[in-house]
Structure 1
Amino acid sequence: MTYVRGNKVLDGPLTQHVTDPAFRFGVGFYETLLYNGRHLVNAAAHLSRISASMQTFTLPFEPVDLYAATEMLLDHLSLRNQMARINVFYTLEQPPRQKAQTKSSATDLLMVPTVTAAPYTPPPADKTFSLTYARAVISSALHAHKTTNHMLHYIERQHAQQQSFDDAILVAHDGTILETTTAALLFFDGLRFTNSHTTYRLASTAEALAANLLDITSAPSTPEYLSKKKHAYVLNSLMGMRPVGRIGDHTFTPDFDTCNEVTRHIQNAL
């Protein structure tokens, strides 16, 4: 494993103390960014989102120079001139300088950044996504944050893939469709693009970029409304915008033209 911590490239396992909240309770936040072979994409929006989450919960954090960390990893891993997935993780733990101390308190804890990089290959251009509904219901406002405690997302995605779907759709307690475990969801009814407006939905950086090209409004999005939708789309920072061909037993007409245009915009944003 290769990562950047403390402005240094490190190889090997990442050590966490068993008393750290990050280890015991999964306390942390993360962001996934695209390096498009030329530059880091939309970094300011990702850093703003993760900073806002830490500030919401009054968690002190170390600053991170994400651009410098990315440059170090690209060189170390020979990833220049190709697409790569960049992750920044902020985890609540004892700062490295205090690890050797045997006694600490909650006031010693700090959100510590770790940056990783790996090669990324986007889905094929003709790929359409198939989705099913998650078994669990979302009922926590914590879902509006991208936390490192995404066990539910992982379990539901694995279950969906075991059933031959690409991903699972998370649904709020009132039946509102939120997003998939890895991407935002948009729908088009022939007149307008819509998303679901709810406090439980993660604010998507990819969708915010898509809104530069598309007129997106909020509207009721429940399984019962799907029959009124002509197209469906998944969006995230890596793959851009891709068509959904099926949700459960309901099928949609793939809209590749819109997806290709929006994907180019998302994957090249500064």
Structure 2
Amino acid sequence: MKLSLNGTLLEPEAARIAPGDRGFTLGDGLFETLRVREGAIRRLNAHLARLARGAEVIGLPLPPLDLAAALEEVRAANALSDAVLRLTLTRGEGPRGVLPPAAPHPTLLITAAPMAPTAPPARLIITTRTRRNERSPLAGVKSLNYLDNILARQEAAAAGADDAVLLNTRDRVAETSIANLFAVIDGRLLTPPLADGALPGVMRAAVLALEGAEQSLSVDDLDRAGEMFLSSSLGLRPVATLAGRPLASVATARRLTAALGEA
């Protein structure tokens, strides 16, 4: 698959990133995962707006490139109709130390992959290894710092599950290691608010524009849920079990998938 590095289209073996790039050495950067469906990049403006907000939070200048055109160039170069694009933006190369350079030269990498087959309903656990720090300004940023998520996902795999629910420092539900979480409780579709540590997901916003509300949720609330599903840029995924408890219904996820044009 051809990729784009700093605006230049390359074969993967020709791409080179400096050993001192802060994205590699410190995780100093951001990323976006974008869905391509029937040759079109879905919700492109929402993704670019979130990238710009995250860049402002961490003080990272956006490169002087047409990001939408660069993404489309990679899609077209690989003749992809149903695929996933990933945009990775780092602060670029810098000297040793934590303090960023005064005038950074960001690195922009765009890669592509075919869309994977639809995954079956997810089996979830609630992680005990880590917590989401809802007080951190990074809680609302899609950054390259994913170690908490990795620990949670490893715990899920060890338990034979597909993903793990992350709680925040006040024992409220935040999200899972890779997605936002929605639950149908007492007939209402609910999702944790951003203030509880949920990432401002692009698909999350699309679902809320159609249906549902934000509400702080506890583990006890999830135990009362009749249905749950995960939302990410790649679509909605019903939840089959939470900590071994089956959830039989997938009706809301299927209905919203159709309404959002993701079917």
1:206 aligns with 2:206: no
Partner SS state of residue 55, structure 1: helix
Question: What residue number does 1:34 align with?
Answer: 35
What residue is the counterpart of 1:253 in the other structure?
A: 248
Q: Is the 8 A contact 2:175 2:198 kept in 1?
A: yes
CA contact 1:209–1:265 (8 Å) conserved in 2? no
Aligned partner (choices 101, 111, 115) of residue 116 of structure 1:
111
Question: Normalised by the size of structure 1, how large is the TM-score?
Answer: 0.85
1:262 has 2:262 as partner: no
CA distance in 1, matches of 2:109, 2:143: 14
The answer to whether the 8 A contact 1:210-1:265 is kept is no
Output the amino acid matched with 1:87.
R
Which range moved further: 175-184 or 259-268? 259-268
- 1:236-251 alignment, distance < 5 Å: 236-238=232-234, 240-251=235-246
TM-superposition CA deviations, 1:160-180 (whole Å, max 9, x none): 123211111111011111111
User: Out of 161, 172, 177, which is 2:173 matched to?
Assistant: 177
Q: Look up the match of 1:99.
A: none
8 Å contact from structure 1 (residues 61, 110) kept in 2: no
CA–CA separation in structure 2 for the residues paired with 1:92 and 1:10: 21
Displacement of 1:24: 1.7
Q: 2:124 aligns with which of 131, 136, 148?
A: 131
The residue number in structure 2 matching 1:76 is: 77
Task: Assess if the C-alpha contact under 8 Å between 1:144 and 1:199 holds in 2.
Answer: no
Q: Which amino acid aligns with 1:148?
A: L
Gaps of 5+ in 1: 96-104
Q: Which residue of 2 aligns with 1:85?
A: 84
1:15 and 1:5 mapped to 2: Cα distance?
8
In the alignment, the residues of structure 2 paired with residue 63 and residue 203 of structure 1 have an alpha-carbon distance, to the nearest angstrom, of: 25
Task: Give the aligned residue type for 1:92.
Answer: R
Bigger Cα displacement from structure 2, 59-68 vs 33-42? 59-68
1:92 positional shift: 0.8
CA distance in structure 1 between the partners assigned to 2:163 and 2:14 by the alignment: 29
Q: Structure 2 residue aligned with 1:195, among 188, 191, 194?
A: 191
Contact 1:85 1:119 in 2 (8 A): yes
SS at match of 1:138: coil
Task: Give the root-mean-square deviation of aligned CA atoms.
Answer: 2.4
Q: How far off is 1:76 after superposition?
A: 3.0
Q: How much has 1:265 moved relative to structure 2?
A: 4.1
1:9 aligns with 2:16: no
Q: What is the letter of the counterpart of residue 83 of structure 2?
A: A
* Structure 2 counterpart SS, 1:115: strand
Runs of 4 or more consecutive aligned structure 1 residues displaced over 6 Å after TM superposition = none
Distance in 2 (alpha carbons) for counterparts of 1:153 and 1:224: 22
Q: How far apart, CA to CA, are the structure 1 residues paired with 2:260 and 2:37?
A: 10
TM-score for the superposition, normalised by structure 2? 0.87
- Local SS of the residue matching 1:164: coil
Percent identity at matched positions? 23
Aligned residues: 254
Does structure 2 retain, via aligned residues, the 8 Å contact 1:64–1:113? no
Alpha-carbon shift at residue 268 of structure 1 (Å): 5.3
Work out whether residues 183 and 236 of structure 1, in 8 Å CA contact, stay in contact via their aligned partners in 2: yes
Task: Provide the rounded CA distance (Å) in 2 between the counterparts of 1:199 and 1:218.
Answer: 10
The aligned residue for residue 150 of structure 2 is: 154
Structure 2 distance, partners of 1:61, 1:75, is 23
In structure 1, the residue corresponding to 2:20 is in which secondary structure?
Answer: coil
Instruction: Indicate if the aligned counterparts of 1:175 and 1:222 stay in contact, CA closer than 8 A.
Output: yes
Unaligned 5+ residue runs, structure 2?
95-99
Query: 2:130–2:151: 8 Å Cα contact kept in structure 1?
Result: no
